Amino acid sequence: MSKTSKNLISVGFVLLILVIIYTCIFTFNLKPRLGLDLKGGISIVYEAKGAKVDEGVLDKTVEKIRDRVDKLGVAEPEISRQGDRNVTVQLPGIHDPERAKQIIGKTAQLQFRLVTDSKDAKDAKKDPAWKVTEGEQNLQPDKEIILPLKDGKSKMLLKLGPTLMTGDKLQKAQAGVSGETGSWQINFTLAGDGKKAFADITTANVNKQLAIVLDYVVESAPNIQSAITDGRGEITGKFTNKEANDLAIVLNTGALPVELKPITEQDVTATLGRDSLHKGLIAGIVGIAVVALFMLVYYRALGVITCLGLIVFGGLMYGFICVLGEFWSVTLAGIAGVIVSIGIAADSSIVYFERLKEDIREGRTMRSSAERAYKSAFRTIIAADTVSFAAAAILYILAIGSVKGFAFTLGMATIFDVFISYFFTRPVTALLSRWRVFGSPAAVGVRSVTESGGGGEAG
Residues 211, 252 share a domain: yes
Contacts of 154 (CB under 8 A, 6+ apart): 120, 121
Q: What's the number of domains the chain is made of?
A: 2
Residues 79 and 304: beta-carbon distance below 8 Å? no
Residues 103 and 256: beta-carbon distance below 8 Å? no
Residues 93 and 269: beta-carbon distance below 8 Å? no
Q: Which pLDDT belongs to residue 26?
A: 95
Q: For residue 1, how many C-alpha atoms fall within 13 Å in the half-sphere facing its CB?
A: 7
Q: Of 224, 239, 268, which residue constitutes the final position of a domain?
A: 268
Which pairs from 148-157 meet CB under 8 Å and 24+ separation?
148/121, 148/218, 149/118, 149/211, 149/218, 149/221, 154/120, 154/121, 155/120, 155/121, 156/118, 156/119, 156/120, 156/121, 157/118, 157/119, 157/120, 157/121, 157/124, 157/130, 157/132
Residues 205, 350 share a domain: no
Residues 374, 334 share a domain: yes
For residue 117, pLDDT over 90 is answered with: yes
CATH number of the structural domain spanning residue 48: 3.30.1360.200
Q: What is the pLDDT of residues 141-187, one digit of tens each?
A: 888 999 998 766 678 899 999 999 888 888 888 999 988 888 898 89
Residue 459 lies in a domain: no
Residue 340 lies in a domain: yes
- State the angle between helix axes of 301-323 and 332-361 in degrees (0 to 180), rounded to the nearest 10: 150
Residue 242 lies in a domain: yes
Residues 304, 216 share a domain: no
CATH number of the structural domain spanning residue 351: 1.20.1640.10
Provide the pLDDT confidence category of residue 455 given band limits of 50, 70 and 90: very low
Residue 457 lies in a domain: no
**Span 328-340, average pLDDT:** 86
Task: Give me the sheet containing 184-190, strands edge to edge.
Answer: 170-177, 184-190, 232-239
- Residue 221 corresponds to which amino acid? A
Angle, alpha carbons 260-264-267 (nearest 5°): 115
Residues 202, 86 share a domain: yes
Closest of 435, 447, 235 to residue 357, by C-alpha: 447
- The C-alpha atoms of residue 398 and residue 81 are separated, in whole angstroms, by 15
**Span 2-6, average pLDDT:** 91
Residues 289, 261 share a domain: no
Q: What is the DSSP string of 390-401?
A: HHHHHHHHH--T
Contacts of 175 (CB under 8 A, 6+ apart): 184, 185, 186, 187, 239, 241, 244, 245, 247, 248
Residues 284, 256 share a domain: no
For residue 433, pLDDT over 80 is answered with: yes
Does the CA dihedral 192-193-194-195 come out positive or negative?
A: positive
For residue 452, pLDDT over 50 is answered with: no
End-to-end Cα separation, the chain, in angstroms: 27
CA distances from 34 to 38, 258, 277, 398, 405 (A): 6, 31, 9, 23, 11
Q: Which pLDDT belongs to residue 270?
A: 67
Residues 137, 231 share a domain: yes
Q: Which pLDDT belongs to residue 317?
A: 93
Residues 283, 251 share a domain: no
Q: Of 219, 251, 268, which residue constitutes the final position of a domain?
A: 268
**Span 433-450, average pLDDT:** 73
* DSSP-assigned letter for residue 135: G
Residue 458 lies in a domain: no
Q: What is the pLDDT of residues 222-270, one digit of tens each?
A: 888 888 899 888 888 778 888 888 888 888 887 788 888 888 888 877 6
Residue 293 lies in a domain: yes
Q: What is the pLDDT of residues 390-429, one digit of tens each?
A: 999 999 888 766 788 899 999 999 999 999 999 999 999 9
Q: Of 268, 300, 322, which residue constitutes the final position of a domain?
A: 268
**What is the chain's mean pLDDT, rounded?**
85
Residue 315, SS3?
helix
**Span 92-101, average pLDDT:** 77
Residues 105, 22 share a domain: no
- Residue 37 corresponds to which amino acid? D
Alpha helices in 106-154 (DSSP H): 121-124
Residues 134, 227 share a domain: yes
Strands 154-166 and 170-177: unpaired
Residues 388, 358 share a domain: yes
Q: pTM for this one?
A: 0.64
Structural domain containing residue 412? 3-35+269-452
* DSSP-assigned letter for residue 167: G
